[in-house]
Amino acid sequence: MRAQTLPFPGIRDHQAERDAGYATALILVMFAALIAVLGLVVDAGGAAAADARAQTAAAEAARAGASEIDLDFLRTNNVIRLDPSAAQAAASAWLSATGHTGTASATVAEVTVTVEASHPTQILTAVGIGAIPVTATATAGPDQGTDLAAPPAAPSTEGNGP
């Protein structure tokens, strides 16, 4: 087997010397870009899941608060409305019992709950992002059901004969 000879004996291949190391640098840059994209996919996906959990928690707490009807007002006025202090307390109790952090506020018409959470990152910690904050808000009102002012209609007996 014969060694490859250069076109001009005694002259080194300067093009090969100039290219030395560029492939390594390119591979390192591509690897860093791949890790960044992987971090965004994994950690952003985790943050989206954490956001969905926070939204569910906010909605559940708001529904818990919306079940606190002002019964005295209902009995005297035949109108459904919330007891704001009881509704806020019920929503806050639900958050506390389930280990969530957030705030609740209530009026006679609705309960609003905001849940705050954070998703600890797995890959983005390498670039200094330790957690992604997540906030979700939900509002619920009392279930109006049927019209309480009108008595229920009596069942019809027409057409049920022999």
Contact 84, 108 (CB under 8 A): yes
What are the pLDDT digits (tens) for 37-93?
Answer: 888 889 989 999 999 999 999 999 999 999 999 999 999 998 899 999 999 999 999
The pLDDT of residue 124: 84
pLDDT of residue 160: 47
pLDDT of residue 6: 55
Q: Encode 78-106: b = buried (16+ Cβ within 10 Å), e = exposed.
A: eebbbbbebbbbbbbebbeeeebebebbb
Residue 136 has what pLDDT? Answer: 96
Amino acid 36: pLDDT: 81
Q: State whether residue 157 is helix, strand or coil.
A: coil
Tell which wins on pLDDT, 36 or 15: 36
What's the confidence (pLDDT) of residue 158? 54
* For residue 8, pLDDT beyond 80: no
Reduced 3-state DSSP string for 41-107:
HHHHHHHHHHHHHHHHHHHHHHHHHHCCECHHHHHHHCCCCECHHHHHHHHHHHHHHCCCEEEEEEC
Q: Give the model's pLDDT for residue 162.
A: 47
101 φ, ψ to 5°?
Answer: -110, 135
| pLDDT tens column, 103-139 | 999 999 999 999 999 999 988 888 888 999 999 999 9
